Amino acid sequence: MIRAERARYVGDQLAALYPETPISLDHFDPYTLLIAVLLSAQCTDKRVNLTTPALFALANNPRDMAQKSVNEINAIVRPCGLAPRKAQAIKGLSEILLAKHGGEVPRTFEDLEELPGVGHKTASVVMAQAFGVAAFPVDTHIHRLAHRWKLSKRGGTVQRVEKDLKRAFPEDQWNALHLRIIFYGREHCSARGCDGHTCEICAHLNGPPKPKSKPVAKRV
């Protein structure tokens, strides 16, 4: 099966399975989304959603957050890991938003990626989900499934996977599709729950696993 056929099947199956694609990080504006995505690095969305209510009660906008100390922020976000780096990034980016962007989250990849703690993946999520700009953020689930579904070569970098997926799917599907792949990876095709042949999509695309060859008996 050629890659275009694989992509078409994946897109159709995921759209039927997940017609709605709500982002799983609780937020109420671009700034709180930016903070939530930053906190989600090497942390589960569930843990982030348990943490952000207290953080946003402390400060939910750049002006108020910039006035808080790193220690105050860190005391709340520590359960999300990578402390106090995330706390320093939250305070630092809040100060930059005030100084350079009028207290608003910028609407370009370049400006977002200049903020402390914000890499290309975080910027892509914010651009896609806050501003509706077509993007294809690649997390661990997407990286794994792109390889399992042979939409990108195994062992490729995150950057390679992103380019391959953007070529494989129409641009108007990117923002919903990256969330659908994440949902599917969590619920049906996890790293341990599927061997590349078990879940419905893998079984259709890859078929049953090849039987293991029996060892040849040595002559004595």
Supply the pLDDT for residue 83. 86
pLDDT tens profile 186-209: 999 999 999 999 999 999 999 887
Catalytic residue among 45, 139, 150, 166: 139
* CA separation for the pair 108, 22 (Å, rounded): 22
Give the residue extent of every domain in the chain. 3-20+137-206, 30-131
Written out in words, the top-level CATH class of the domain with range 3-20+137-206 is mainly alpha
pTM for the model:
0.90
Supply the pLDDT for residue 209. 77
Domain 30-131, second-level architecture: Orthogonal Bundle (1.10)
- Residue 196 φ/ψ region, left for φ over 0, alpha for ψ in the -120 to 50 degree band, beta for the rest: left
Catalytic residue among 68, 86, 91, 121: 121
pLDDT tens profile 14-56: 999 999 999 999 999 999 999 999 999 999 999 999 999 999 9
Q: Is 210 a catalytic residue?
A: no
Q: pLDDT-derived band of residue 1, with 50, 70 and 90 as boundaries? A: confident
Beta carbons of 23 and 37 less than 8 angstroms apart: no
Q: Is 121 a catalytic residue?
A: yes
> What Rg do the C-alpha atoms of the chain give, in angstroms?
20
- DSSP single-letter state for residue 35: H
For residue 178, what are the CA distances in angstroms to 125, 172, 219? Answer: 9, 12, 54
